[in-house]
Structure 1
């Protein structure tokens, strides 16, 4: 079975967003407004908030899968929409924090250091890879292409859950070094 009209309609937008979002984040990550002379307060209160949003996303993803397995597709759709909104909120806060604050170096030593960097790197890579997966999976669902949605969701769900959970883990591992 081929692409639905909705998939065809949104395909180019999904491709563009899948490229533009990571590029914009990478560019903005390198912009520090304070170092550029702007009088802005560092948004140091944001990391626990956006880490919590990652935790909420993980919980809601599990709830969304549970809802669809119980036959409640409408609740599933609503929860996925909230997860997508949480992901956007996380991204905005993450970029805002890094545009106003100095990056915090990880201070852990010994065996935990490579563990931290493995988790961080896989988190970052999958957070980029997941963008088109989430968007195509979502479009297939709202377009009524349920078998194709389900097939792609089997790949999307564990990746998205991993990104959400490791976002919390990365925060917990680096949080002792904030302000050091």
Structure 2
């Protein structure tokens, strides 16, 4: 069991560095011209909402002792998060970033900044939590999940909030 966790540690650390660096690179000039993926933001915002719902459902399932439902919902959360990431990267590789021009910047920017910072932190947390469950180290899994869950839920919910706040400015 410990072997499974150790086997994945290097991969988790690599992904935890490479993913944020790749996403950051999108904002510093990596653009592919000639494609229109402007339809993606409401889709990936909806995926964030679905992730939040699945996370809450998974928590309820495990609290009620329904491990099978918990596992399925958590797998759905991982799939949804991967889909979000792919769509987010595609959109930002092909589109200019939208500038927020609303009156609520004092609310928008703290939410956006905390969302970005915690979305970076949640990558290794989710992956380490998952590997601990996979390796049947359920005590360690539960302990880390108590930290991971609220952060992942916050990232999912604030992803929707950020989209709703900036969506009036898309295409302007």
* TM-score normalised per structure 2: 0.96
Partner of 2:20: 22
Count of matched residue positions in the alignment of Structure 1 and Structure 2: 171
- Which one has the largest radius of gyration? 1
Unaligned runs of 5+ in 1: 35-39
Partner of 2:36: 42
Unaligned runs of 5+ in 2: none
**8 Å CA contact 1:29, 1:95 repeated in 2:** no
Q: Counterparts in 2 of 1:77-156, with a 5 A limit?
A: 77-109=71-103, 112-156=104-148
Q: Partners in 1 of 2:128 and 2:94 — Cα distance?
A: 33
Q: Partners in 2 of 1:70 and 1:119 — Cα distance?
A: 32
1:177 to 161, 169, 172: 169
Once the 2 structures are TM-superposed, how far is the Cα of residue 6 of structure 1 from its aligned partner?
1.1
Once the 2 structures are TM-superposed, how far is the Cα of residue 166 of structure 1 from its aligned partner?
0.2
**Deviations for 1:80-134, whole angstroms, at most 9, x for unmatched residues?**
111011111111111111111111100112xx11210000000000000011100
* TM-score normalised per structure 1: 0.92
